Structure 1
Amino acid sequence: MTATEDSFTNWKTREEIAESMIPIIGKLHRERDVTILLHSRSLVNKSVVSILKTHRFARQIAGAELSVTETLPFLHALTALDLGPSQIDLGILAEAYRSDDRGLSVGDFTAEAVAGATGDNKTERREARDVVLYGFGRIGRLLARLLIEKTGSGNGLRLRAIVVRKGAGQDIVKRASLLRRDSIHGQFQGTITVDEANSRIIANGNEIQVIYSDDPTAVDYTAHGIKNAILIDNTGRWRDREGLSRHLRPGIAKVVLTAPGKGDVPNIVHGVNQDTIKPDEQIISCASCTTNAIVPPLKAMADEYGVLRGHVETVHSFTNDQNLLDNYHNSDRRGRSAPLNMVITETGAASAVTKALPDLDAKITGSSIRVPVPDVSIAILNLQLARGTNREEVLEHLRNVSLTSPLRRQIDFITAPDAVSSDFIGSRHASIVDAGATKVEGDNAILYLWYDNEFGYSSQVIRVVQHVSGVEYPTYPAPAV
């Protein structure tokens, strides 16, 4: 057999194994509300090739490719356990088993590693929590995609309605079409139909009521059977407690804002300060996409090295609040053509750091440049550390943080020497450390952090919503603290 034939035979074998994993992953998700991950990447509803690519991607963060032949035995072991709702990371399981020297079988090791999710310890499945989207623009439609994706088990979060101002013509048909096809993020994964008579969009079996209103105080959500819902305001029209309180109508229990909150509205970056949310808090902000991108790696660096001061320069994709061509705008520079210019603008991300990391005794400044790309931005974080270090040590630290720490869903890590912005479209992490661009000299470290300012941020918003709704299930094996 030639080397070419041997490689092809190996590929076909791995394809067959990955194919056998799909029904197991699907059944665990539907019947037990268990999400199977591989180094924080969900394998639910993924294709054979996607599963193989995810295994291969492990080499970027773990230094070596994971094989489906390694992870399949752990998946089989999970099916034999009395599992409750949880997230199980096969990558972490395989890594931990490889370094364990007790001679345990895969079954015994797996049972021990996920003991907190089995038997008397397991979390009970909760009733689905209603969610309402107020606004249906770039972030609103991505939130809808994520919410629909996560209803496969029938539990967790359930998108019940969207609230929009009615447009001319076939409004609901046009909105459904925008959900179905996206120029940046591609086709919706599933089927979408429209029930114009009842003002509903049906996406993968989810009946989503379209409510037309321009006034939050005029909507009675209980008339649509909505109760105890979390409303996500992605319009940014109201940002203080007084304005956002207008949403607290019958049927709405909490309001989550997808923009920086003003005044005493808590700004939450999931992975960093979600545990500070008070149980009776009704209004929460998810801060900005840039704040979510810089705060987790800033915390990771501060915890390990200490940070005395820093500056963040964001090179940000253009957004809907800019003009397509030169025209009047309340902001001078943002009135200039977005696809034709680099535009210097302000960012509140640096000042927002203190809200998410109040214990960080360091001055962080920031500025921003909008550039002619439609999605994916990069934050350049220039830090003066409390102690000297070197590039290798910093990269090893951040790689480990992305792999095994509580911040592993927020921070990703890539070593590809030819990575460019479009490679990160669809990333669910808050930020991705570019190892090749990282610079360290003594007590000065410069980190280049990619982030999908649309999809990565939307993923962070959903995590906050899951947390406040009580359906943020624990992950096993537990990440290192």
Structure 2
Amino acid sequence: MTVNEDSFTNWKHREEIAESMIPIIGKLQRERDVTVLLHSRSLVNKSVVSILKTHRFARQIAGSELSVTDTMPFLRALTTLDLGPSQIDIGMLAAMYKTDDRGLPVEEFTAEAVAGATGANKIECREPRDVVLYGFGRIGRLVARLLIEKAGSGNGLRLRAIVVRKGAGQDLVKRASLLRRDSIHGQFHGTITVDEANSAIVANGNEIKVIYSDDPTSVDYPAYGIKNAILIDNTGKWRDREGLSQHLQPGIDKVVLTAPGKGDVPNVVHGVNHDMIKPDEQILSCASCTTNAIVPPLKAMADEYGVLRGHVETVHSFTNDQNLLDNYHKSDRRGRSAPLNMVITETGAASAVAKALPDLKATITGSSIRVPVPDVSIAILSLRLGRETNREDVLDYLREVSLTSPLKRQIDFTNAPDAVSSDFIGSRHASIVDAGATKVDGDNAILYLWYDNEFGYSCQVIRVVQHVSGVEYPTYPAPLV
């Protein structure tokens, strides 16, 4: 047999294993509310090729490719356990097993590693928590996709309604169409139908009421059966406590803003300060996409090396706030054509760092340039460190942070030498460290951080909502601290 035939035979064998993984992953999700991950990447509802590609991607962060032959024994072992709702990372299980020198059978090792999710330790499935989207723009529609995707077993978060101002002519049909197809993020994974008689969009069996209103105080949520809901305001129209408090009508328990909050509104970056949210806090902000991109790696660098000062320059994709062609705009430069120009503008991300990292005493400055791409941005984070180091040490540290630390859902890592912005469309991480572009000279470090300013940020929003709703299930094996 030739080498090529050997390679093809091996591929077909791995395809067969990946295919057999799909029903196991689906059954764990539906019946036990267990989400199977591979190095923080969900394998739920993934195709055979997607599962294989996710395994192969591990070589960029772990140094070697992970095979389905390595992870399948751990997936099978999970089916024999009395699991409760949780997220279980079979990539981490396989990696930890390789370094364990006790010679335990896979089944015994797995049972020990996920013991917190089994038997008397397991948590019970929680009642679904109602979610309302106020506004249905770029972030609103991506958050809707994620909520529908995560409906899973029927527990967790349940998107009940969308509140929008009524547009002229076939409003419901057009909004459903925008959810169904997206020029950047592609087709919706599933089926969408329109129920005009009941003013609803039905997505993968989830009935989502479309409520027309231009006044937060006028919506009668209990009339739609909505109770104790978390409302996600993605309009950005109100950003202070007084304005956002208008949403706190009967049926709405908490308000989450998808823009930087003003005044005393807490700015939350999941993975960094989400555990500081007070249980009785009703209004909070998920800060900005750029704040979410820079704060996790900034915290990681501060924890290991100390940070004395820093500057962030964001090269940001254009947004709906800009004009397609030159026209009047209240800002000095944003009125110029977005797809034809690089546009210097301000960013509040640097000042927002203080809210998310109050213990960081370093001064962080920032500026931004909008460029003619529709999605994915890059933050160039230039830091003066508290001690000298070298490039290899920094990259080894950040690679490990992306794999095993509590920030592994926020920080990703790539050493692909030809990576460009479009490669990161659909990334679920807050930011991705570009190893090839990293510069380190003594106590100076420059990090290049890619981020999908639409989808990655939407994932951070969902994580915050899961946390405040009480349906954020624990992950096993537990990240290393």
Q: In the alignment, residue 422 of structure 1 is paired with which amino acid?
A: S
Partner SS state of residue 22, structure 2: helix
Aligned partner of 1:405 in structure 2 is 405
Aligned partner of 2:292 in structure 1 is 292
Question: For 1:70 and 1:373, how far apart are their aligned partners in 2?
Answer: 39
Q: In the alignment, residue 19 of structure 2 is paired with which amino acid?
A: E
- Whether 2:235 is the aligned partner of 1:235: answer yes
Q: In the alignment, residue 332 of structure 1 is paired with which amino acid?
A: D
Partner SS state of residue 333, structure 1: coil
Question: For 2:96 and 2:265, how far apart are their aligned partners in 1?
Answer: 41
Aligned partner of 1:384 in structure 2 is 384
Aligned partner of 1:354 in structure 2 is 354
Q: By how many angstroms is 1:152 displaced?
A: 1.4
Aligned partner of 1:171 in structure 2 is 171
Partner SS state of residue 82, structure 2: coil
- Whether 2:206 is the aligned partner of 1:206: answer yes
Partner SS state of residue 87, structure 2: strand
Residues 255-274 of structure 1: pairs in structure 2 closer than 5 A:
255-274=255-274
Q: In the alignment, residue 173 of structure 2 is paired with which amino acid?
A: V
Q: By how many angstroms is 1:410 displaced?
A: 0.1
Q: By how many angstroms is 1:370 displaced?
A: 0.1
Structure 1: runs of 5 or more not aligned: none
Aligned partner of 1:395 in structure 2 is 395
Give CA-to-partner distance per residue, 1:262-321, whole Å, 9 cap, x none: 000000000000011000000010000000000000000000000000000000000000
Question: For 2:70 and 2:323, how far apart are their aligned partners in 1?
Answer: 52
- Whether 2:337 is the aligned partner of 1:337: answer yes
Aligned partner of 1:16 in structure 2 is 16
Q: By how many angstroms is 1:153 displaced?
A: 1.1
Question: For 2:314 and 2:366, how far apart are their aligned partners in 1?
Answer: 8
Question: For 2:474 and 2:386, how far apart are their aligned partners in 1?
Answer: 34
Residues 456-467 of structure 1: pairs in structure 2 closer than 5 A:
456-467=456-467
Give CA-to-partner distance per residue, 1:12-67, whole Å, 9 cap, x none: 00000000000000000000000000000000000000000000000000000001
Give CA-to-partner distance per residue, 1:93-127, whole Å, 9 cap, x none: 00000000001000000000000000010011000
Aligned partner of 1:315 in structure 2 is 315
What do you get for the CA RMSD once the two structures are aligned? 0.3
Aligned partner of 2:442 in structure 1 is 442
Q: By how many angstroms is 1:81 displaced?
A: 0.3
- Whether 2:69 is the aligned partner of 1:69: answer yes
Q: In the alignment, residue 355 of structure 2 is paired with which amino acid?
A: K
Question: For 1:368 and 1:107, how far apart are their aligned partners in 2?
Answer: 51
- Whether 2:109 is the aligned partner of 1:103: answer no
Q: By how many angstroms is 1:387 displaced?
A: 0.1
Displaced runs of 4+ in structure 1, greater than 6 A? none
Aligned partner of 2:374 in structure 1 is 374
Give CA-to-partner distance per residue, 1:56-86, whole Å, 9 cap, x none: 0000000000010010000000000000000
Question: For 1:244 and 1:472, how far apart are their aligned partners in 2?
Answer: 24
TM-score by length of 1: 1.00
Q: Percent same amino acid at aligned positions?
A: 88
Aligned partner of 2:187 in structure 1 is 187
Aligned partner of 2:37 in structure 1 is 37
Question: For 1:416 and 1:72, how far apart are their aligned partners in 2?
Answer: 27
Partner SS state of residue 334, structure 2: helix
Question: For 1:396 and 1:446, how far apart are their aligned partners in 2?
Answer: 15
Question: For 1:445 and 1:454, how far apart are their aligned partners in 2?
Answer: 27
Q: In the alignment, residue 288 of structure 1 is paired with which amino acid?
A: S
Q: By how many angstroms is 1:332 displaced?
A: 1.2
Structure 2: runs of 5 or more not aligned: none
Q: In the alignment, residue 420 of structure 1 is paired with which amino acid?
A: V
Partner SS state of residue 37, structure 2: strand
Q: In the alignment, residue 269 of structure 1 is paired with which amino acid?
A: V
Give CA-to-partner distance per residue, 1:349-397, whole Å, 9 cap, x none: 0000000000001000000000000000000000000000000000000
- Whether 2:321 is the aligned partner of 1:302: answer no
Q: In the alignment, residue 144 of structure 2 is paired with which amino acid?
A: A
